[in-house]
Amino acid sequence: MNPKEHKPLRIALAFFNWYCHPDFREEIEGDLMERFNRYCLKYGYAKANRLFVKDVLFLFRPAIIGNIYHLTHTDTMELTHQNKRLITILAIALSILLIPFIAMGFTNEVNWSVFDFLLIGVLLFGAGLVLELILRKVKTLRYRIILGIALFAVLLLVWVELAVGIFGTPLAGS
């Protein structure tokens, strides 16, 4: 018997261990493993792994994540305050990107292609990096707020233009 066959996909388990709040981690990981082992007996290893990944993705929700401090806290390295902030901003961008991904599992109304995810991913991560740049370079609170609002407005306008072509620009294919 191949001992590897009874272990779920490591990257999925690592992702779960990263986002799950430490208070719930043991019991929910146990539930995931129990379901994985039952799937293995019922459907075989390949399908069990797919269902395991699905379980992990569908667990990615606010009640399970809890507060996000633990997402930026690592034991292996000392992170500067600025790097922690950058990681938090990028994690929020990733969370926003996961919303339509998870919604696609529940309804046919949301139907994004790979290109859509790539495009919005670039938009969100780009905006996140610009926000971090503003926070590092601009020291005055007033200008930080003004630039932050301007960045958010630009992000929203570009997203709306891409989605529904409200202004009829070439971005929307006009």
Partner 1 sequence: MNKSTLGEFEEIVLLIVAILSGDAYSVTIISEIEERLDRNVSLGAVQTVLKRLEKKGLLTSDLGDATNERGGKRKRLYEITAEGQELLDLNKAQRNSLWNAIPKLSFNF
Task: Kindly state whether residue 1 participates in binding partner 1, applying the rule CB under 8 A.
Answer: no
> 3-class SS at 34?
helix
Residue of the chain from 11, 17, 18, 31 that contacts partner 1 (CB under 8 A): 31
Angle of the 45-58 helix axis to the 22-43 helix axis, nearest 10: 150
Cβ(110)–Cβ(100) below 8 Å: yes
Nearer to partner 1, 33 or 94 (CB): 33
Task: Kindly state whether residue 34 participates in binding partner 1, applying the rule CB under 8 A.
Answer: yes
Q: How far is the CB of 41 from partner 1 (least distance, A)?
A: 10
C-alpha–C-alpha distance, residues 8 and 164, integer Å: 41
Task: Kindly state whether residue 58 participates in binding partner 1, applying the rule CB under 8 A.
Answer: yes
C-alpha–C-alpha distance, residues 151 and 141, integer Å: 15
Q: Which two tokens stand for residue 43?
A: 């459907």
Per CB under 8 A, the segment of 56-64, 71-79, 129-137, 163-171 that binds partner 1 is: 56-64
C-alpha–C-alpha distance, residues 99 and 39, integer Å: 26
Task: Kindly state whether residue 37 participates in binding partner 1, applying the rule CB under 8 A.
Answer: yes
Side chain identity at 98, as an amino acid letter?
A: L
Q: Which two tokens stand for residue 85?
A: 């902030």
Q: How far is the CB of 35 from partner 1 (least distance, A)?
A: 6
C-alpha–C-alpha distance, residues 149 and 121, integer Å: 20
Nearer to partner 1, 47 or 136 (CB): 47
Nearer to partner 1, 34 or 116 (CB): 34
Task: Kindly state whether residue 29 participates in binding partner 1, applying the rule CB under 8 A.
Answer: yes
Q: Which residues bind partner 1 (CB under 8 A)?
A: 24, 26-35, 37-38, 54-55, 58-61, 63-64
